[in-house]
Every structure is written in structure tokens, then in C-alpha cells.
Amino acid sequence: MLRLGPLAAAGRLLPAGPRLEPPRPAGGRVSFLRCWPPRLPGPVGDGRPLSQQVRAAADSAGGGGGRGLALKTPKGTRDHPPAHVALRDHLLAAVVACFKRHGAAAIDTPVLELRETLMGKYGEDTKLIYELQDQGGELLALRYDLTVPFARYLAMNKITNMKRYHVAKVYRRDSPATTRGRYREFYQCDFDIAGQCDPMIPDAECLKIVHEILSDLQLGDFLIKVNDRRILNGVFAICGVPESKFITTCSTVDKLDKVPWEEVKSEMVEEKGLSPEAADYIGEYVQLHGGLDLVERLLQDPKLSQNKLAKEGLGDMKLLFEYLTLFGITGQISFDLSLARGLDYYTGVIFEAVLLQQENDHVEEPVSVGSVAGGGRYDGLVGMFDPKGRKVPCVGVSIGIERIFSILEQRVKAEMLYKKDPKLLKQLQYCEDTGIPLAAIVGEQELTDGVVKLRDVARREEVDIPREKLVDEIRRRLEP
Amino acid sequence: MLRLGPLAAAGRLLPAGPRLEPPRPAGGRVSFLRCWPPRLPGPVGDGRPLSQQVRAAADSAGGGGGRGLALKTPKGTRDHPPAHVALRDHLLAAVVACFKRHGAAAIDTPVLELRETLMGKYGEDTKLIYELQDQGGELLALRYDLTVPFARYLAMNKITNMKRYHVAKVYRRDSPATTRGRYREFYQCDFDIAGQCDPMIPDAECLKIVHEILSDLQLGDFLIKVNDRRILNGVFAICGVPESKFITTCSTVDKLDKVPWEEVKSEMVEEKGLSPEAADYIGEYVQLHGGLDLVERLLQDPKLSQNKLAKEGLGDMKLLFEYLTLFGITGQISFDLSLARGLDYYTGVIFEAVLLQQENDHVEEPVSVGSVAGGGRYDGLVGMFDPKGRKVPCVGVSIGIERIFSILEQRVKAEMLYKKDPKLLKQLQYCEDTGIPLAAIVGEQELTDGVVKLRDVARREEVDIPREKLVDEIRRRLEP
């Protein structure tokens, strides 16, 4: 029997459609059905494209509600049914195991922080902070990340050395894009090293950790982009950007992974007030990416090498690549000058991991999850909290477990269809129970004949389709 | 070597005070030092009673702060350092293991709920709900417990049968009493059974679970009080309380475990407007407690047995006791008519577990933790969310893990001082590191001599004290 990715939930079919229990509603499992439309009114849906129907069904599971009451979770949040929690726990355990392997200890901090603790740390993203109503007493907000609370914790307890991890939920009033795994409440898994260390050793360890976790979880090919805020600032300086515009220019550069250079340039010129020449000059640099060779080349760049900050950053980048070479992970590392990262508090090395493609090519609508990990060095953040401004250098990484979850969630749909020795009846029962519309069945006879048996699950009707026509047939059936 | 409870951190002492590293500040570990004052300015503190000094030290660890910034966590919340998290995880694992043993599956729900989801469910406690600022969009609040979100989850997903557990933080704008383990952010561990079952079977299982967990954690003697809202309402009815005042009278009765009957009575008469005769009549009932015998007696009570609700409640209570007898746990169960529980949503059996005493008699200021578990039957809550008002009967229990933690925290101070074969130097180092002021050392020689060697940790001075004078000497030294 072959598996055809999430569209296949099948086995060798008995000649007569077996008697099955009537399908149960799939209400509680909508989150597992992102690719699979839940049971629809008619046998082939209500005439809208499938993706719309799925969304509508998900909305109605979450919407409507009792006696005038909105029966839903807040926008951008979701419940996690047992299968979800089990997968998440499994995933978190793998991440935590890696953190522990690298010698970190867990801490926990409150979900609530004083509002003033969070202010002035996140740049433009400050507007995404959830604030609590003033009900008397302190003004509070929900934490936006785990990094600022960690810095507050270090300063408050006068800790100057610590390797800690923290796995907890954070809150952002962002535009949710739940199909891409972007929620307003989501888990972060942070690993940070605080304290004075020899240059680039903890930074290299953070990258090693990302590499280990993404490899362990078998998420397919990935790339870890690295850059350094000092290099970027050096580039801005030699291109004539005034220092006051460094951070805002950073935010614009950071969009290069989503929009083409032309758009980025026009934002620089029209919104950020840079001259077209400065923008073009920046463009020459920030479109560069490579490995150690690029670092070496930029170290020879007549202008950039004259800039103190850039030179420091490039020197450290070279050192970082040496450590990464020792770790044997440079194959997945790209020195990418377009990487800027939005947050204010980074001061040195920054990095971000992206998945390059879905492992499973048969997925029709691959979930684009964007970055799955990110982090960097923030040597000034703890000092912002210390009464005497004493700095504690820190570097850390955050694993975007929720986005990884979105990918694994899809896979699990396939995985969970099968027991070790699946009885066909059980598989078909599962198809009916969960509202899978079509099952593609490939047995020995089908292999010999070069066909696939396609079963309309709701109608319990089957027909042999030549393999080369299978995709078209499935598309045709799923269309309005 | 003897252990003298939390005041002892010792071993056999070498003749000369060994050279140790200078003590590190204990800032990050304040939460482990509730009984142990952290390192104080002078060798014997600043002249205030120890308890005050400890509190001040804890405040200063949390207060003050950098460049005009308040360097603290919000009122009633706290950070958890690594040792804390490790203990908590250990504790939660024991609770979860019990929940799983009883066949429950985990779910998770958002910390945020729509404000309207939470309104009208908690009676007088509604004022304790944290509300989020209106930043555009939906009006949100932080969950107050895990029960209402569970009911919302069931209704939203049209689930009519489920055994679930949920371990997560909840939020209450309560007056924090952190020394008694009462916080504004705290973990709850909930186990609930939803669905139509034969009477009292799931209710009995909830009590069994409380019994198992409190026994497993070896928290010393405990008592599980049980009552039934229907019995209470029956009592109120035959005492002439109008039905509109049942819930508010419940809240008053619920105070009987904290204040004497006279005060409860005066609240009933002066604040709730009952007649003194009605109050006295109620008093005759709600001061009763006992076992199956009391149930039998009340079933014979000429007035109460005429009340339909009370009769139902008493019948079920009898059945419950039969199951609890089969489980062999009636020794820790008390049918207590003063138990009322504050929340609106209970409709039948209610229960609450209290610890009877500290196992360790040597603790000078035993932490009074009050109730460590509570729950009951809420057959109407899911129906409040269902569009058609369809009811799903539910019963559940919540383990107050934070309060249990307060007790274990104290013990752990003693437990965590020792390795399997502790080197004396390491123990003394630990005393210095953590600011323990006195170490009582009991070796073979001291046993023979009937003395205890008392070491002033900061000054590294030791003196033999006759055992019978030890407590007085410790008191004297720790006094101003």
C-alpha cells in the first residue's frame, strides 16, 4: 500500500462497501482538519471552493453561540483538544531535552508584568502589547516575549551569570494568521546565556541548539540566517543614514524576505526619508548573502572596513563561522545582510531559522510558516533594569514552537490515520468520522493495473482511475 | 546526624572553621528563604524581628529598581527560580499521573476569554476578574478558573462526554497572602467528568482522586469535607429564607470555617436581612458534621426530610458514602453542613480538602494553607453556553497546587541541603551561600555529651549548647 500524503486515507478495499456506523460530527477536531474539510452539508459540499468551506466550518465551530452569547475563544487564540496537547507536549519535551543537554535550568515568570517593564523594549511592536484595564493598583500588561522578563529577573535578583530556559505562552495583539501558525497567544521556548564569556562562544551554542532542534524534529531542509546589528549599523553609517534612523531603517530592511527590493527601497525613500542614492547604496549591501567568503570579502571592503562597528561585527562573524565550522553546521548557515529583526534590544549577532520547503511534496497547500526560530545578542537590556545601569551581556534564542506545530499537525493527520496493522474497515471508519471526502486506495491489483481506486467517502462509491489522471480527478471532484 | 527541621542545616564540624568562598547574595532565592532570613546587613540583622527582616529583604529583592523603574513583579505574583520550577514540575507530575491513572485526557484553553464568557458565573467573586483594556476589538478578561473555560469548550464543541484534566495558571485580583500560598497568578490542576452517569459514581471518583493525591504527596493528615448545595438550600427553605437569598446566604455560611458562629449569625441578620430566629435555626443545622450516621439522622429529620431538594441531596449523600466506603476512604471524609463554597455554579455535591496540621512539629511558624483542594457538581454551567440550553452534567475537582507547594517548599529547604553523602564543607558552604544564620550540628560526640554545636554561620563561630537549652538559645540569637 502506498501513501499519497494527506489526501490518502486508505487501504485495500473490500468488494462491497462495508456497513459503518453513521459519521459523528467533527466539531471538536476542527484544528486537525485544516486540509480536510469537515463533513459538509451535501456529499460534495456547498458549492464554494473547499478552502472556503473549511474556513466556514471552522468559523461556525467557533462562532454562533448560546442565547446571545458569543461561543468562541478570543480572536487569534484557540483551544487545544487532547490530541493537540499530546503532540505539543511531545514537541516541547524534545526542545526541553535539548535545552537541558546544553546545561540550562528552567525558570518561570508571571504572565503579567508591570506595564513600565515592557515599555521601550520592542520598538514599533510596542503597540502589540496587551494592556490590562486600570482596576486600581498597578498598571499591568501581558508579556510580549520571554526575553524582557528574563532581563528583569536577572537585574532584580542581581544575577550576572545564568544559562536558563523558559517555555511559556506569550501574547501579541498581532494580525493573526492562524493557517500559518501565527496566533495571539502562543508558546515560546527560549534558551539564553547571560554573563561575560569569551566572544562568540555562547552565540555559537545558540545556533548549534537551533540546528539540533530543527534536525531532531525532522522538519526537512532549513536555513539559519545570521547577521550582526553592528554590521547593519556600519552599512547604514557609510551609506549616510543618520544614527537616529538606524532602528527604523532596520525595520524596513527586515521586510526584504517578504517583499522585493523595489518596495523596500520606496519605503526607505518615501516613508523613512532616505535619499534614493543612500537607499541604492544600502541595497548593494543588504542583498548580499553567503558564507565565510562573504565575511572575508566585506572585511576587505574599503569603506565598510573603515567603520569601527562594522569591523567589530565582521570580526566576530568570522570567529562565529570558525566555531560553526567546528560544530560542522555551516552547511545550514547563511550570512545574510538583509536579516535585521524588528526588536530594539539586539546589539550584536542576530539570527533567524527558516524552513526551506515542505518535506512532503504532495501537500497541495503547503503551510508557509516563515521563521521557526530567532534570536540574537542583547547586551544592553539587563542594564536598562539595573538601578546602576550595570550591564549583563546576553545572547539567546527563541524556538517558534507554534509554527513548527503547524507543520507537525499536518503530518500527524496522516500519521494518526494508521495503526500498526491497520484494518481497512477502521481506516474507512476514520475517513467517515473525520469528514475526509476522498480516499485513494492502492493495493496489489491497482499497482498491477496502474490505477488508483478513488472512493467517495460520503457516498461509499468507488472507481478506478489511471494513475496519471488521479490528480486531475481529485481536483475536479473537489472543485465547486 | 539528626535533622531538626528547617532550622537545622548541619553536619559534623571540623575543629577549625574551614576556609570557604565568600558568600554570594541570596537575591534570586528569596522564595526558598521564607523561614531563613537572607544575609542581613549586620551579623545578627538590623534589630527588627526576624520575620520583619525577611519580609523586608524579600521586598527589597522585589522593590527598588533601576533608574526610576519599579524592579518587581506585579503584586501577588512571583518569579520561580530553577529549584522552584523543578519542585513544581515534580509536584505537577504526581498530580497529572493520578489524573491519567483515572483516565483523563489533557486539554488546553487560552488564558484570555471573552469577558462575557466569564460574567455571571462567579457570584461575588466576579469583581476579582482581571479585565483587559479595550484596545479595539473584543472585550477580554483573564480566566478566573479552569471550570468555566471547560464548560465553554464542551458547549462550543458539542461534547457531551469527557473526562479531562487541565493544569494551568488562573488569575484573581484577590488580596494576596503569599505566606499562605495565596497568589494572584497561580496554578490550578483540574479534573472533571462531563456526561450523564449513574448517580454519585463520578462524584465519588473525584473524592478518591483528592484522597490519592494528598496521600501520595505525604502532606500529613487531611480531611475532605463534603456537603450538597441541595441540602443547604433545603435547610434555608425550611428555615424560612426566601429563595432569592439562597446564594448570598451560602456565601455567609461559607465563612464558618474562619469565624465563629456569632459573627456569621450577625452577618446573616444585619447584612443579609434574615430574622434572628431564621439565623438561629440555620445555625442548628450548619454546625453539624459527621459521617454516614449524620446523613441517616437528617434523613429522619421531620422537617428536612419533607423538603424535596434536601431529601434528594441526602439520598445522594448516602449513596456517596456507600461508594466512599467501598473505596475505603471514609476515615478522611466529613459530611459538614457548614461547607458552602462561594461560587454560583455548583448545583449538587460540593467538597473541600483541608490539611489538619503540619507533619513537622518543629516548624516555628507553620504555614497555614487552608483548603488545598475543592470542587463539586455543576450541572447547569454547560447549558449556560449551549445555544439551546442543553445541559451536560459535570462534576470536578481542583487541586490547589500552589498551597501544597508552600508546604513542600518549606520541607525542601531541609531536603535540598543534603546530598546523599553530604560533605560537611559543602553543607557549610550552602549555609553561607543561602544566608542561613545558624547551623545546629549533631555528631557522635555531641550525642554522647548531650549537646548540640551551634554555629553562627556569618561569623564562623561555634559553641556547644545543652540540648534542653537549644531552642531558647536559637530564639535568643534570632531575636533583635
Q: What would the pLDDT profile of B85-126 be if each residue is shown by its tens digit?
A: 998 999 999 999 999 999 999 999 999 999 999 998 988 789
- Would an 8 Å CB–CB cutoff place B381 in contact with chain A? no
User: What is the rounded distance in angstroms from the CA atom of residue B292 to the CA atom of residue B317?
Assistant: 8
- Distances from the Cα of B36 to the Cα of A176, A296, B413, B472, angstroms: 48, 57, 9, 17
- A409 SS3 class: helix
Are residues A333 and A291 in contact, defined by beta-carbon separation less than 8 angstroms?
Answer: yes
- Would an 8 Å CB–CB cutoff place B380 in contact with chain A? no
- Name every chain B residue with its beta carbon within 8 A of the beta carbon of A175: none
Q: What is the pLDDT of residue A39?
A: 28
Task: Identify the burial level of B395 via C-beta atoms within 10 angstroms of its C-beta, where 0-12 means exposed, 13-18 middle and 19 or more buried.
Answer: buried
Compute the nearest-CA separation of B148 from chain A (Å).
12
B98 Rama sector, left if φ>0, alpha if ψ -120 to 50, beta otherwise: alpha
Tally of CB atoms within 10 A around B386: 21
DSSP per position, A125-147: GGGG--BB---SSS-EEE-S-SH
- A375 SS3 class: strand
User: What is the rounded distance in angstroms from the CA atom of residue B188 to the CA atom of residue B82?
Assistant: 20
Q: What is the pLDDT of residue B7?
A: 31
- A99 SS3 class: helix
- Name every chain A residue with its beta carbon within 8 A of the beta carbon of B153: 79
Compute the nearest-CA separation of B23 from chain A (Å).
14
Under 8 Å CB-to-CB from B93, ≥6 apart: which residues? none
* B108 → closest Cβ in A66, A67, A85: A85
Q: What is the pLDDT of residue B420?
A: 56
**CB within 8 Å: A82 and B164:** yes
Are residues A372 and A222 in contact, defined by beta-carbon separation less than 8 angstroms?
Answer: yes
Q: What is the pLDDT of residue A134?
A: 94
User: What is the rounded distance in angstroms from the CA atom of residue A198 to the CA atom of residue A195?
Assistant: 10
User: What is the rounded distance in angstroms from the CA atom of residue A403 to the CA atom of residue A221?
Assistant: 15
Encoded amino acid at B380, one letter = G
- Would an 8 Å CB–CB cutoff place B119 in contact with chain A? no
Compute the nearest-CA separation of A142 from chain B (Å).
9
Are residues B73 and A157 in contact, defined by beta-carbon separation less than 8 angstroms?
Answer: no
3-state percent helix, strand, coil for chain B, nearest multiple of 5? 45, 15, 40
Residues facing residue B461 across a β-bridge: B456
Check pLDDT > 90 for residue B291: yes
What tens digit of pLDDT does each residue of B314-366 get?
Answer: 999 999 999 999 999 999 999 999 999 877 889 999 999 999 865 444 444 44
Largest CA distance in chain B: 80
As for the ipTM of the complex, it is 0.73
Are residues B119 and B126 in contact, defined by beta-carbon separation less than 8 angstroms?
Answer: yes
Q: What is the pLDDT of residue B49?
A: 36
Length of chain A: 480
What tens digit of pLDDT does each residue of A278-321 get?
Answer: 999 999 999 999 999 999 999 999 999 999 999 999 999 999 99
- Distances from the Cα of B471 to the Cα of B40, B261, B341, B363, B446, angstroms: 22, 37, 41, 12, 16
User: What is the rounded distance in angstroms from the CA atom of residue B447 to the CA atom of residue B467?
Assistant: 9
pLDDT confidence of B440, banded at 50, 70, 90? confident
Higher pLDDT, B79 or B366: B79
pLDDT confidence of B371, banded at 50, 70, 90? confident
Check pLDDT > 60 for residue A365: no
Encoded amino acid at A138, one letter = E
Residues facing residue B194 across a β-bridge: B162, B394
Q: What percent of chain A has pLDDT over 70?
A: 80
Q: What average pLDDT score do residues B406-416 get? A: 62
Q: What average pLDDT score do residues A442-451 get? A: 89
DSSP per position, A286-328: HT-EESHHHHHHHHH-TTGGGSHHHHHHHHHHHHHHHHHHHHT
Q: What is the pLDDT of residue B476?
A: 83
Check pLDDT > 90 for residue B307: yes
Check pLDDT > 50 for residue B64: no
User: What is the rounded distance in angstroms from the CA atom of residue B195 to the CA atom of residue B104?
Assistant: 13
* A173 → closest Cβ in B78, B131, B135: B135
pLDDT confidence of B257, banded at 50, 70, 90? confident
Chain center to CA of B135:
35
pLDDT confidence of A423, banded at 50, 70, 90? confident
Q: What is the pLDDT of residue B462?
A: 93
Give residues 224 to 253 of B whose Cβ lies within 8 Å of A: none
Q: What is the pLDDT of residue B92?
A: 95
- Would an 8 Å CB–CB cutoff place B16 in contact with chain A? no
Encoded amino acid at B180, one letter = R
- B320 SS3 class: helix
- B26 SS3 class: coil
Q: What is the pLDDT of residue A480?
A: 56
Q: Which phi and psi angles does B241 have, rounded to 5°?
A: -80, 130
Give residues 76 to 95 of A whose Cβ lies within 8 Å of B: 77-82, 84-86, 88-89
- Would an 8 Å CB–CB cutoff place A68 in contact with chain B? no
pLDDT confidence of B391, banded at 50, 70, 90? very high
User: What is the rounded distance in angstroms from the CA atom of residue B312 to the CA atom of residue B302?
Assistant: 15
- B441 SS3 class: strand
Q: What is the pLDDT of residue A12?
A: 31
* B138 → closest Cβ in A65, A75, A78: A75
- B395 SS3 class: strand
Q: What is the pLDDT of residue A474?
A: 83
Q: Closest residue of A to B129, CA-based? A: A135
Compute the nearest-CA separation of A152 from chain B (Å).
7
- Would an 8 Å CB–CB cutoff place A175 in contact with chain B? no
Is pTM beyond 0.90? Reply is: no
User: What is the rounded distance in angstroms from the CA atom of residue B403 to the CA atom of residue B129?
Assistant: 20
Residue B185 exposure: Cα atoms within 13 Å on the Cβ side: 18
Least confident of A5-19, A48-62, A316-330, B50-64: A5-19
CA torsion A129-A134-A136-A141 (nearest 10°) is -10
What average pLDDT does the structure give for chain B? 81
Tally of CB atoms within 10 A around B218: 9
- Name every chain A residue with its beta carbon within 8 A of the beta carbon of B132: 130-133, 142
Check pLDDT > 80 for residue A32: no
Report which of B151, B228, B144, B226 is spatially closest to residue B192, judged by C-alpha positions: B151
**CB within 8 Å: A71 and B153:** no
- Would an 8 Å CB–CB cutoff place B115 in contact with chain A? no
pLDDT confidence of B233, banded at 50, 70, 90? very high
- Would an 8 Å CB–CB cutoff place B68 in contact with chain A? no
Residue B134 exposure: Cα atoms within 13 Å on the Cβ side: 2
Q: Closest residue of A to B60, CA-based? A: A156
Q: What average pLDDT score do residues A104-118 get? A: 97
User: What is the rounded distance in angstroms from the CA atom of residue B165 to the CA atom of residue B153?
Assistant: 13
Q: What is the pLDDT of residue A420?
A: 56
Q: What is the pLDDT of residue A258?
A: 82
Q: What percent of chain A has pLDDT over 90?
A: 57
pLDDT confidence of A21, banded at 50, 70, 90? very low
Instruction: Give start and end residues of each alpha helix (H) in A70-216.
Output: 82-101, 115-118, 147-156, 201-216
- B4 SS3 class: coil
Least confident of A26-35, A192-201, A403-412, B421-430: A26-35
Compute the nearest-CA separation of B438 from chain A (Å).
23
